Structure 1
Amino acid sequence: MWKNEKGFTLIEMLIVLLVISVLLIITIPNLSQNTENIRNKGCDALKVTVEAQLEAYQVENNAVPTIDELESGDYIKTKECPDGTSLTIVDGKVVEAAGE
C-alpha cells in the first residue's frame, strides 16, 4: 500500500530551521562583542610594534623620530589603530593621540 518514500517531512524541515535560527540568534551578538575586543587588542599590538620600530630607528639614527618619520621611513605601515585611534610619539614614548 504505502511506498517507502525517503525524504524529510515538513515538520522535520521546520525543526531544522528552528534550530539553525536559534544558533544564529545566539552567535551573532557574541561576534559583535568580540569585534570591539579585537579592535582594542589590535591597538595594543600596534603600540608594541611602533615601540619596537621606534627603538630600531633610534639605534640606526641616534635620534628620536616623530611618528611621521617612522611611517615615511617604512618602519611602520600605519599610525592608525583598527579602532581609528591615531598614535603619536611624546617624549620618546608611543601614546594615543590627544583628542581621539
Structure 2
Amino acid sequence: MKKIKCQKGFTLIEMMVVLLIISVLILIAIPNVTKHSATIDEKGCEAYIKMVQGQVEAYRIDMKDVPTLSDLTDNDYLNDGEISCPNGDQIQIDATTGLVSVTEDVAG
C-alpha cells in the first residue's frame, strides 16, 4: 500500500487573518503619511531656497553683481523651470542684499 502524503498549506481562515492584519496596518499608516506631506513640502522648499542662495553667492563671486532669477537661468546657475519651490511657492531674490525668500502672497 502507498502512503498518501498530507499536503500542508494555509487554510482560508489563516489567510483571512493575515489579510485583516495587513489591512489594519495600512489603515494606520496612510493617515500618518498624508499628515506629514505638508511638512515634507515645507522642508523641501527650505532646502531649495538654501540651494538657490548658494547659486546667488556663486554668481556674485563670478560676476560681481546681485543676480535676478533670469540671470541665474540664463547663465546656467539654475535650470529652466526650476525657479519655484517643489510645492509650487514662488521665490524671489532681494535686489540689494541678494537674499532668497518665498514670495509673499498679498491676496491670501
TM norm structure 2: 0.83
Match of 1:95 among 92, 101, 104: 101
What is the CA distance between 1:38 and its match in structure 2?
A: 1.4
Q: Which runs of 5+ in 2 are unaligned?
A: none
What is the CA distance between 1:99 and its match in structure 2?
A: 1.7
Percent of pairs with identical residues: 43
Larger radius of gyration: 2
Write out the 4+ residue segments of structure 1 that deviate beyond 6 Å after TM superposition. Answer: none
Q: Which runs of 5+ in 1 are unaligned?
A: none
SS in 2 for 1:95: strand
Partner of 1:62: 64
In the alignment, the residues of structure 2 paired with residue 62 and residue 73 of structure 1 have an alpha-carbon distance, to the nearest angstrom, of 14
Deviations 1:26-69 (A, max 9, x none): 11111112222211111001111111110110111111111121
SS in 2 for 1:64: coil
Q: CA RMSD in A?
A: 1.8
Deviations 1:64-83 (A, max 9, x none): 11112112221122111111
What is the CA distance between 1:5 and its match in structure 2?
A: 3.2
Q: How does 1:43-82 map to 2 (within 5 A)?
A: 43-77=45-79, 78-82=82-86
Q: Which has the higher helix share?
A: 1
TM norm structure 1: 0.89
In the alignment, the residues of structure 2 paired with residue 97 and residue 54 of structure 1 have an alpha-carbon distance, to the nearest angstrom, of 17
Partner of 1:86: 90
In the alignment, the residues of structure 2 paired with residue 45 and residue 76 of structure 1 have an alpha-carbon distance, to the nearest angstrom, of 15
In the alignment, the residues of structure 2 paired with residue 76 and residue 49 of structure 1 have an alpha-carbon distance, to the nearest angstrom, of 10
In the alignment, the residues of structure 2 paired with residue 57 and residue 5 of structure 1 have an alpha-carbon distance, to the nearest angstrom, of 72
